[in-house]
Chains A and B, each alone.
Chain A
Amino acid sequence: KNEVEQSPQNLTAQEGEFITINCSYSVGISALHWLQQHPGGGIVSLFMLSSGKKKHGRLIATINIQEKHSSLHITASHPRDSAVYICAVNPYSGGGADGLTFGKGTHLIIQP
Chain B
Amino acid sequence: GESVGLHLPTLSVQEGDNSIINCAYSNSASDYFIWYKQESGKGPQFIIDIRSNMDKRQGQRVTVLLNKTVKHLSLQIAATQPGDSAVYFCAEGIRGSTLGRLYFGRGTQLTVWP
Are both chains from one complex?
no
